[in-house]
Amino acid sequence: MASRWVKSPFPKGTYYFSGNEAAAEGAIAAGCRFYAGYPITPSSELMERMAVRLNEIGGVFIQMEDEIASISAVIGASWAGARAMTATSGPGFSLMQESIGYAAFTETPCVIIDVQRAGPCTGQATKVGSGDIMQAKWGSHGDYQVIALSPWSSQEMYDLTLRAFNLSEQYRVPAMVMADEAIGHLRETIRVAAKVEVWDRKKKKGGAPFDIEGEDGVPPMPSFGEGERLSVTGSTHDAYGFRKTDDPKAHARLVERINKKILNHKRSIIETEDYLLEDAEMAVVAYGFTARTSLYAVKRMRKDGTKVGMLRLKTLWPFPDEAVAEIGKKVKKIIVPEMNLGQVAGEVKKYVPCDVISLSQTNGEVIQPDTIMEMLRKI
């Protein structure tokens, strides 16, 4: 298993892409050659661009009958050897959950982009929200891990989609890009480099595809048709894919491994960014679009002499517990602004001794800088 540098399929240069378009280009750059999806606002432009691009470069695009079929086709294609993805929004993300659990348990690389909208239910389809953060981690039944990234710009829709593919291939795990309507539709200057780094899944003839091979806990993954006579099942299985539905040891071993292989590598998976935190007495912990607002607010407050900084969570799952705990030791108060009723605030509370204030907004609109500044002034 290794990474290699390949020529970017999109010419090096500066572009003006919406987040959704940029994500599609990031996927293509990562080597994605299979897309299955079902239209849903506000993610549809991503699918439309994939339809055009995969047609141009000779990949497979298919519009399925629903989101369950979409993610299932993605998993089938992944086992046939594809780097494969789908994109959706809340209602579709809900439908996908059983198959996401399947991908986690069968260790199938795949990428899911959730362009979050204002939920629950059909909610406000064209409006922004970030209410799917907990669902990304806990949406399917049982104990499993996923990787979830949080882009804050069009550029990162490109960069983090590419990274999601790489992490997904490297760790054989579903990787999610938890975007939101505001980022999906934000058009920004983005830079495409001449070369991109892509990871290839590990291959080994005759290797056990479902047990530990080497220290990283990630087994090799052959594809269908390679003569490996694979047995893939979503039931508990042994190293070679034989069902072990009554063996307590086999179950514990498998569940533990698929969790550990991610958690043991969380330091290389998790990315966070510190802003103005050195002497800070208060910290804003933010992610996604709201981190842009927060940074603006924090810089303004700094001008007025308030000692405030920001920790930005670029990775949401596995949760950046260490970075959060570190900040928690330094500051007296943490505020967590988010477009839900405190999903990440609750997570932050687990790791810090100081006060954590949840600044929730669930009105279908992005949080404005003034709202954050007001809160910072109040506390």
Q: Would you tell me which residues interact with another protein (CB under 8 A)?
A: 14-16, 33-34, 36, 41-42, 60, 62, 64-66, 68-70, 72-82, 84, 98-99, 102, 125-126, 153, 181-182, 185-189, 223-225, 227-235, 240-243, 292-293, 295-296, 299, 366, 369
Shortest separation between residue 40's beta carbon and another protein, angstroms: 12
Shortest CB 168 distance to another protein, Å: 16
CB closer to another protein, 66 vs 256: 66
Nearer to another protein, 64 or 354 (CB): 64
- Phi, psi torsion values for 67, nearest 5 degrees: -75, -25
Please identify, using beta-carbon distances, which residue of 116 and 265 lies nearer to another protein: 116
Peptide bond into 120 cis (omega under 30): yes
Is the Cβ of residue 75 or residue 218 nearer to another protein in the bound state?
75
Structure tokens at 290: 């709201």
* Residues 6+ positions from 9 with CB-CB distance below 8 Å: 28, 29, 57
CB of 322 to another protein, least distance (A): 26
Cβ neighbours, 10 Å, residue 240: 14
**Nearest-angstrom CA–CA distance, 340 and 116:** 11
Minimum CB–partner distance for residue 222 and another protein (Å) = 9
Q: Which of 150, 140, 147 is nearest to 100 (CA)?
A: 140
Question: Would you say 42 or 318 has its CB closer to another protein?
Answer: 42
d(CA 283, CA 375): 12
Token pair of 325 as six digits: 């705990």
Helix axes 90-105, 248-263, angle to 10 degrees: 120
Residue 259 CB, shortest distance to another protein, in Å, is 21
**Nearest approach, Cβ of 239 to another protein (angstroms)?**
11
Nearer to another protein (CB atom), residue 19 or residue 318: 19
- Min dist CB 362 to another protein, Å, is 18
**Residue (82 or 352) nearer to another protein, CB:** 82
Pairing relationship of beta strands 84-88 and 34-37 according to DSSP bridges? parallel
173: tokens are: 């795990």
Q: Cα separation of 186 and 74, whole Å?
A: 27
